[in-house]
Each structure stands twice: as C-alpha cells, then as structure tokens.
Structure 1
C-alpha cells in the first residue's frame, strides 16, 4: 500500500510539472482588412460613422470570398466598433461565417501623429496621444507569437489603423504611416514568427477586386454601380 501511494504521488508530481510547463511559441499570421467604400455623412455621430455604400458591400463580399478560399481557417476575428467596419465584417461573414466577431474599441479609426503638418493641424495633441495609446494596446496584445500552435487572426478596421500597425511591424518611424495608401477592402498580411520577428507579407492587396471597383487608395477615381445606358441603334 505504501509503495502504491509513493508511485501515485510521483505520478501526480510529474503531471503537475508538465502542466506547469509553458506552451511553446508558434507563428501568428495577422490579416488586416480595410472596410469597404462608404459615403460620408456629417449628420451621423462620428464615433459610429456611416455604413457601407453599395460599392462597399460589393467590395467586402469579394474580400470575403477570397478569405473563405484560404486553406487555413481563422482562429479569431476582430472588428472596429464603427459602422462601416461592422458592415464590412458582416459582408465578409456571408462567405466565411465562423468564428464569431469580437468588437474591439481600440480598432476605431483615429489619426496618430504624422509628418504632414496639414494633417497635424486638424487634430489636438491629446487626440493623437489617445489614438496612439489605443493602437499600441492592439499591437502589444495581438502582434505577438502564438502559443502552442500556429494561428491566424483576422482584423477588419481602418486605413489609419492598418498603416500605423504596419510601421510598427516594420520597426520604422510610426510617423511615416501616411506615406502609404491602402484601398477599400484591401488585404494586408503580417506574420509574427515564433521568435518574435516580423515579416510583412503584403500591403493593401486588392487582387480580388476588378479595377472598376477599386476605391480608397491614391489614384483611385470615383466609381458607380449604375448600369450605363445602351447606345441608340
């Protein structure tokens, strides 16, 4: 009986030691999708903002179709609280409904410090500091290696947010974020290696959109879904 108790105690101690061992680090792939096209509406609370336009819905559906075709499913999905981002997430979810979306307030659109004086003049130091604090919280929490096994996380948010996070992954001056341009419903991919190194795999990819639906990036023109009139015979 005494021998049995000793063996049981040793087995329990071994199991406890194994449970206490930290999970090994693994790679994390972060996919950042900018919301689709929307029409500005000053009558709507700017903290929520307007929803998607018909073109924006079409863009988001096409982005969702592309994401649904990827071999590895997403382990988590996060979305900004603003309406255009939530509409984009809902449209993406038609093609890829799982897992459920988690609303993250820190993903809301804001304007961090930039090199452009004309942009800086439109915000206060307090607004810029609050913006950067929120984005730094996102970076500190999510832009880290996975634990136990590789994973992929999807974020639907905003152009300023995505560009700032890209500069942080690149390890460059964050004030350079405005020197990039990412279109509506574009896809940016960043890989965090198990050892913490970053690899920016793509920025503002719109390969899933036909040229007549590309909006939101420098050089993109106005678009319409209106059917053109047929020429008279």
Structure 2
C-alpha cells in the first residue's frame, strides 16, 4: 500500500481516537418532578397563566421545598413551567437554593394529552390534544436521557398531567394510560435514567413531607383550607 496512504490512514485514526477521548461518557441522571401546590380558581387571573397559589398551596410548597433542600446530592439544574401556580411553587422552593435560578420551559405548561377516557376526549379539541402530546414528547426527548460526563440531578416544577404523561413515557407503556394515575399537590415523582439509557421509576406522587391535613390534589383527598375557625365559646 502507498506509504502516503498509510500515513493518511494513521492520521485519521489518531484524530478519531482524540475525538473519542474528548467525548464525555454517558452518566446517570435523576429527575425530580414536583407538582405545584394547591390553588383556587380566580376569574380575574390571566387566562394563559392562571391563578396564584392559595395559602394552603404556599404552605405545601414550602414543605416540599424544605425536603428538597435537605437532599444530600443537591440539584444541578432547576426548571419550571411558565404557568403561575408552578412559578409560585418554585418561588417557595427557591430560598433553599440561594443564588440559583429556575429556567422556564414553555413545553412544561399544563395541558391535556390524549387519554383512554372517552368523556375527556369528547371535551377536548383534537388539535389541542395533539399539540399537548407534541410538547410533552419534546420535553421527554430533550431531557429524559442520560447525563454527559458526570451524574446529574434535575428538578422540574410543573403539573399533574405533565408528570403523569412523562411517567408513562419512562415506563414505556401506552401514554394514553396517564389518567390512571393521580398525584397530589406538592408531591415528588422521582425517575432515574441510567447511563445505558434504562429508565427506573422510583417514586410517583410522594407526599411524605406533608401532614395528613394538608393533602390535596390526588384522588380521594378532601377539600381543605387554612382558614381559622371561630374560637369556641
């Protein structure tokens, strides 16, 4: 073989080896999905952003924030939905992460993806269902993959529909099954993506940081508030 050709091949191999050495190896990523706290309907609220948290929701958000701040590994990235109740929840969590900022992901906004429930599908416009699914699939494809170079832990403050849909994608099951789950306000859902791309759903709707009288938002939870009742006479 021509010696110049051999030299050229040798050079290409060296460049390829150098590039491989510079490419960070995949690593595990742990994702925490935090549902926003309780809120009450407000006809005066911005139609797109929705209402603020209620007093009860603020209390829930502060409690989940304390739990998250106490986690030993900390968080490498913080994300939040653009919707007001999620932003309020992130604001209540933020003091535990001084100097850090939440990055807004528009695709994390609450929406309704396709479901098995005919009564839900009948109320939604097909184009809205498709747009919601496309947005949540973009979130999954962009973020639910191994980290690069070193293990990473990320927090996403968002919504019940969003969380349940992302759980079905992580499990590799029919995404239309998302409504067969229920997650409470200020709950924690934890999903780990291994370096080789395998998914491990570790917790869904964990509310161990909330006392029973502050549980709302999941199927079976009652209506509650923080109003002070009259002092018995």
TM > 0.5 fold call? yes
CA distance in 2: counterparts of 1:59 and 1:160, whole angstroms: 19
1:60-75 superposed matches below 5 A = 60-75=61-76
Counterpart position of 2:196: 195
The alpha-carbon deviation at position 229 of structure 1 amounts to 3.3
CA distance in 1: counterparts of 2:68 and 2:200, whole angstroms: 20
Counterpart position of 2:174: 173
Counterpart position of 1:6: none
The alpha-carbon deviation at position 121 of structure 1 amounts to 1.3
The alpha-carbon deviation at position 119 of structure 1 amounts to 0.8
Q: Which moved more, 1:59-68 or 1:19-28?
A: 19-28
Counterpart position of 1:110: 111
Count residues in correspondence: 221
The alpha-carbon deviation at position 117 of structure 1 amounts to 1.0
1:68/1:96 contact within 8 Å kept? yes
The alpha-carbon deviation at position 17 of structure 1 amounts to 1.6
CA distance in 1: counterparts of 2:232 and 2:37, whole angstroms: 32
CA distance in 2: counterparts of 1:171 and 1:128, whole angstroms: 20
CA distance in 1: counterparts of 2:206 and 2:21, whole angstroms: 42
CA distance in 2: counterparts of 1:46 and 1:20, whole angstroms: 51
Q: Deviations over 1:144-187 (max 9, x none)?
A: 00000001000000000000000000000000000000000000
The alpha-carbon deviation at position 230 of structure 1 amounts to 3.5
Unaligned runs of 5+ in 1: 1-9
Counterpart position of 1:208: 209
Counterpart position of 1:83: 84
The alpha-carbon deviation at position 71 of structure 1 amounts to 0.2
Counterpart position of 2:5: none
- Structure 1 79/133 Cα, relative in aligned 2: closer, same or farther at 3 Å? same
1:96-107 superposed matches below 5 A = 96-107=97-108
The alpha-carbon deviation at position 122 of structure 1 amounts to 1.4
Counterpart position of 1:21: 22
The alpha-carbon deviation at position 19 of structure 1 amounts to 7.5
Counterpart position of 1:51: 52
CA distance in 2: counterparts of 1:56 and 1:17, whole angstroms: 53
- Structure 1 98/146 Cα, relative in aligned 2: closer, same or farther at 3 Å? farther
CA distance in 2: counterparts of 1:99 and 1:139, whole angstroms: 23
Q: Deviations over 1:65-99 (max 9, x none)?
A: 00000001100000000000000000001223353
Q: CA RMSD in A?
A: 1.8
CA distance in 2: counterparts of 1:98 and 1:214, whole angstroms: 30
CA distance in 1: counterparts of 2:162 and 2:43, whole angstroms: 21
- TM-score (normalised: structure 1): 0.90
Counterpart position of 2:229: 228
2:94/2:100 contact within 8 Å kept? no
